[in-house]
């Protein structure tokens, strides 16, 4: 006969007890997925509808000739023709490869700088304001220096993308670390967490919601910097989205220009939605928002 000490309830093994249950909040409900998707989607669909109607109203008002400002129907037809070509998807792949490469490098640099600044007070006093200044500087200001350093090349574009995104990542991490509860730090000290282990198991997980916000902002800066770079710098043989848009502008093809603008907008919205999913998951995990 097994004793009462050896009998374990299956439900008890799945429950989070003690202080963890208080801090982490309830688990997310797996049901009602369709309802949550609809509640999230309908405001966006309404905004798109209003924007298209306003666009069509401006076209009907004949503010500009239709060859300069075509209507939504003509642009949609052109967009469908563009996305049906293999060359278009190769351009999208090139642009996304540049964006992801620059963003990953910016995350690495921004994380290292953020941890260093938050850990050493003299370093924060020295470069804290500089990081914010770099974050607010328009990315287009870096292109003359990038061209001087790397000529017209992939490295020049990567340089501008990284320097545009890394300060936002660093500031997001610094803000998250600053708002880690002092009680948690004292508990970590009692448990013997020091050095890398302290950051790995306590500080960085606690700063995760703010860090994700910094990553989201960093992506926005890197995406904007990349689009500016592709419009200003034409690397030979690299037919990216920006280069194709610039070629359409040279040919006074307003339908193609607007089509590429829509493509860039759609990619930005998709990436933003992915960051929102990660942000909501982190906030629910820490009990900052309800399910």
What pLDDT, on a 0 to 100 scale, did the predictor assign at position 7? 44
The runs of H, that is alpha helices, within 61-199 are 72-83, 86-119, 121-136, 143-150, 154-178, 182-190, 195-198
Alpha-carbon distance 96 to 270, whole Å?
Answer: 12
Instruction: Render pLDDT for 51-92 as a digit per residue (tens, 0 to 9).
Output: 999 999 999 998 888 888 999 999 999 999 999 988 889 989
Whether residue 291 is predicted with pLDDT greater than 70 in this model: the reply is no
State both tokens at 154.
């992939």
Q: In this predicted structure, what is the pLDDT of residue 290? A: 58
* Mean of pLDDT over the chain: 81
pLDDT of 17 > 70? The answer is no
Q: Is the pLDDT of residue 24 over 70?
A: no
Return the pLDDT at 239. 84
Q: Is 80 exceeded by the pLDDT of residue 9?
A: no
What is the reported pLDDT for 12?
A: 43
Distance CA 143, CA 121 (A): 32
The answer, yes or no, to whether residue 181 has pLDDT greater than 80, is: no
> CA nearest 219: which of 283, 267, 281?
267
Task: Evaluate if residue 16 carries a pLDDT over 70.
Answer: no
How does 270-285 read in b/e, with b if 16+ C-beta sit within 10 Å? ebeeebeeebbebbbb
Q: Binning pLDDT at 50, 70 and 90, where does residue 153 land? A: confident
What's the token pair of residue 25? 């909040």
CA atoms within 13 A on the CB side of 208: 18
The pLDDT, as a whole number, for residue 286 is: 65
31 pLDDT higher than 90: no
For 166-174, what is the mean pLDDT? 89
Instruction: Please give the share of the chain, as a percent, with pLDDT higher than 70.
Output: 86
Short-list 188, 269, 279, CA closest to 223: 269
Angle at 290 between CA 284 and CA 291, to 5 degrees: 80
How far is the C-alpha of 106 from the C-alpha of 23, rounded, in Å?
31
In the chain the first and final C-alpha atoms are separated, in Å, by 43
User: Mean pLDDT throughout 135-155?
Assistant: 88
Who wins on pLDDT, 200 or 46?
46
Residue-range domains of the chain with CATH: 63-285 (1.10.3720.10)
Question: Per residue in 213-262, pLDDT tens?
Answer: 888 888 988 898 899 888 888 887 778 898 899 899 989 899 999 999 99
Determine contact, residues 253/79, Cβ cutoff 8 Å: no
> Do the beta carbons of residue 106 and residue 220 sit within 8 Å?
no
> Using CA atoms, how far apart are residues 223 and 263, in angstroms rounded to an integer?
13
As a whole number of angstroms, the distance between CA 104 and CA 11 comes to 41
- Show the CA angle centred on residue 229, arms to residues 80 and 175, nearest 5°: 105
The candidate with the shortest Cα–Cα distance to 68, out of 266, 264, 256, 245, is 256
What predicted TM-score, i.e. pTM, was given to this entire model? 0.76
If one counts every other C-beta atom within 10 angstroms of the C-beta of residue 264, the result is 19
């Amino acid at each position: 006969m097994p004793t009462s000490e050896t009998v374990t309830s299956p439900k008890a093994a799945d429950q989070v007890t003690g202080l963890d249950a208080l801090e982490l909040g309830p688990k997310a409900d797996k049901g009602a997925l369709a309802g949550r998707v609809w509640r999230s989607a309908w405001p966006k669909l309404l905004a798109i509808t209003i924007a298209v109607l306003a666009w069509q109203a401006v076209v009907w008002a004949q503010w500009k000739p239709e060859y300069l400002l075509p209507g939504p129907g003509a642009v949609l037809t052109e967009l469908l023709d563009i996305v049906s070509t293999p060359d278009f998807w190769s351009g999208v792949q090139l642009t996304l490869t540049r964006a992801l490469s620059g963003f990953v490098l910016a995350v690495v640099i921004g994380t290292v700088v953020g941890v260093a600044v938050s850990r050493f007070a003299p370093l924060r006093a020295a470069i804290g304001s500089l990081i914010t200044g770099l974050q607010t500087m328009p990315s287009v200001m870096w292109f003359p220096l990038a061209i001087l350093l790397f000529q017209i090349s992939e490295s020049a574009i990567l340089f501008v993308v990284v320097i545009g995104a890394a300060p936002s990542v660093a500031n997001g991490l610094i803000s998250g670390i600053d708002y880690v509860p002092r009680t948690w730090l004292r508990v970590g000290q009692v448990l013997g967490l020091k050095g890398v282990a302290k950051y790995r198991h306590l500080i960085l997980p606690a700063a995760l919601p703010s860090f994700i916000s910094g990553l989201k902002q960093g992506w926005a800066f890197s995406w904007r910097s990349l689009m500016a770079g592709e419009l200003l710098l034409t690397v030979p043989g690299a037919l990216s989205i920006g280069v194709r848009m610039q070629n359409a502008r040279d040919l006074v093809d307003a339908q193609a220009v607007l089509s590429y603008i829509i493509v860039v907008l759609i990619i930005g919205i998709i990436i933003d939605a992915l960051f929102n999913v990660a942000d909501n998951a982190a906030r629910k995990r820490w009990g900052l928002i309800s399910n």
